[in-house]
Amino acid sequence: MTEEFFMREALRIARHAEGRTSPNPLVGAVVVRDGKIVAQGWHRKAGTPHAEIHALNMAGELSRGATLYVTLEPCSHFGRTPPCARAIVDAGIKKVVAAMSDPNPKVAGRGFDILRSAGIEVEVGLLEDEARKLNEAFLKWVTRKLPFVTLKFACSLDGKIATVGGQSQWISCEASRKFSHGLRDINDAILVGIGTVLADNPSLTTRLVDGKNPVRVIVDSNARIPLDATVVTDKSARTIVAVTSNAPPEKISALENLGVETVTAGDGQRVDLRILMHELAAREITSVLVEGGATIHFAMLQAQLVDKVLAFVAPKILGGSQALTAVAGAGFDKLSDAVELENFTVQQVGADFLLSGYVRGVSP
C-alpha cells in the first residue's frame, strides 16, 4: 500500500461527518504501522475531539514509532479542545504526513513547528487539491470571512423553472429532489428571496432520515414575510430574515417575538447581499445553499458572491416567453460580463442531468 492510499483513506473517512463539523473543517486521520492501518478517526462535531485524537486513542501503544496520515495540519492552540500537535508528540508518532497546512491564523504552520521541534518528520502536500476541495467552505470562511455559496436550481431543457401558468412541481425527477435534500443536509444555511416564501410557503428543511436542517435565511428587504409563514411558525430550524433599515420596526419586533432572528443589511431599497454574507459568516455559517428565486439568483451572481453552480436539467421543453427562467433580474448587457464556470462536470441523476461548475475568478 502506498502513501497515497493511506491519505485517500483519511480523506474518505473525513467525509463521514460532512455537514456536521462547521465551523470546523472536515478532517480524517489514519495511523499506519509496518505498512498497515492500525487505527483511524475523523472529526465529528465542533467541540468534540479532533480526528487525530480519535485515531491515537484507537491506536494506543501502537502509535509509538508509527506514521500518522492526516488531511489537515494538526492544530496547535487551545480552542474548543486541546491542541492535537502536542498529543501527537506525546503519543510517540515518528512521522506525520499532512495533505495541507491550515490557513487558520491560529494555526498556520505552528502545528508543524511543534512536531518538527519534537523531532517528528513532517511531510506536507500529498493530495492537497483533494484536501482543499474537501474543505472548500471552511477555507473560504477562515481566510475571507465569507461563507462558501452554492447556487442550485432545477430547470427544463430550455431553462425554465416553471410553466407559463406558474406550475413548477415537479420539473426535476425524484432522484434529483433527493440529491437536493442531501445538499440541504450538508450546508449550514439555505437562502431564498421573499418571493419564494410568498409564492410557495416552503419549509426549507431536509426530508432525509437523520438529515440536518439548515439555517433558513430569507432575503426580505421590507419585512413582508407573513407571521404565519411556515419558516416562522414550525420551529423546525433556525430562521434569519434579512431586511434593510427601511423595514417597519413593529414587524421586526413581531418576528423576533416569534423567535425569528433579523439582520439589517444596508439602508437602501434592497438588502446588501455582501453585508448579509459577512453577517452570516460572523454567525459561524460557513456554507450557504441558494435555492431561489430567479431574481435572487441574479443578484447573488451580480454581486460576485456565488462560488459554485449546480443546475439540474430535466429532459423537458416548456416554452413560453413569459415562463420564468432560472436566472432573471436585469441581466448582463455584454457577453464579456457573463458569469463563466470552470472545472465543469456533467453527471446523470435519475432522468435528469446535473451540471456543476465553479465560478471563474470567484472561488477561493
pLDDT for res 330: 86
d(CA 53, CA 35): 21
Tell me the per-residue pLDDT of 130-162, one tens digit each, with 9 for 90 and over.
999 999 999 999 999 999 999 999 999 999 988
% of the chain surpassing 70 pLDDT: 98
Residue 98 sits at the vertex; the CA angle it makes with 94 and 99, to the nearest 5 degrees, is 160
Which residue is it, cell 495533505? Answer: 99
Active site residue 52: yes
Q: Kindly provide the residue ranges of all beta strands, DSSP E only, lying in 12-75, ordered along the sequence.
A: 28-33, 36-42, 67-70
Q: How confident is the model at residue 206 (pLDDT cuts 50, 70, 90)?
A: very high
Residues 21-25 have a mean pLDDT of 95
pLDDT over 90 at 83, yes or no:
no
Tell me the per-residue pLDDT of 344-353, one tens digit each, with 9 for 90 and over.
999 999 999 9
Q: Is 258 exposed, middle or buried (0-12, 13-18, 19+ CB in 10 A)?
A: middle
Which residue is it, cell 465569507? Answer: 146
Residues 174-190 have a mean pLDDT of 96
Show the DSSP H helices in 216-293 as ranges.
230-233, 249-257, 273-282
Q: Shortest CA distance to 331 belongs to which of 357, 361, 301, 307?
A: 301
pLDDT over 50 at 364, yes or no:
no
Q: Which of the residue ranges 145-149, 195-199, 339-343 has the most confident prediction, judged by mean pLDDT?
A: 145-149
The residue annotated as part of the active site, out of 3, 4, 18, 52, is 52
Tell me the per-residue pLDDT of 217-274, one tens digit each, with 9 for 90 and over.
999 999 999 999 999 999 999 999 999 999 999 999 999 999 999 999 998 889 999 9
% of the chain surpassing 90 pLDDT: 82
- Omega before 42 within 30 of 0, i.e. cis: no
Residues 106-111 have a mean pLDDT of 80
Show the DSSP H helices in the chain as ranges.
3-14, 51-59, 84-91, 110-117, 128-134, 136-144, 174-186, 194-200, 230-233, 249-257, 273-282, 294-302
Please tell me the pTM assigned to this model: 0.93
pLDDT over 90 at 363, yes or no:
no
Q: Report phi then psi at 142, rounded to 5.
A: -80, -25
The mean of the pLDDT values for the chain is 93
Question: Would you say 309 and 357 are in contact if contact means Cβ atoms under 8 Å apart?
Answer: yes
The grid cell for 232 is 416562522
d(CA 16, CA 14): 5
Q: Which residues contact 253 (CB under 8 A, 6 or more apart)?
A: none
More confident call, 363 vs 168:
168
Question: Would you say 29 and 54 are in contact if contact means Cβ atoms under 8 Å apart?
Answer: yes
pLDDT over 70 at 79, yes or no:
no
Q: Shortest CA distance to 129 belongs to which of 141, 143, 139, 115?
A: 139
Question: Would you say 27 and 51 are in contact if contact means Cβ atoms under 8 Å apart?
Answer: yes
Q: Which residues contact 148 (CB under 8 A, 6 or more apart)?
A: 136, 137, 140, 141, 286, 287, 288, 307, 308, 364
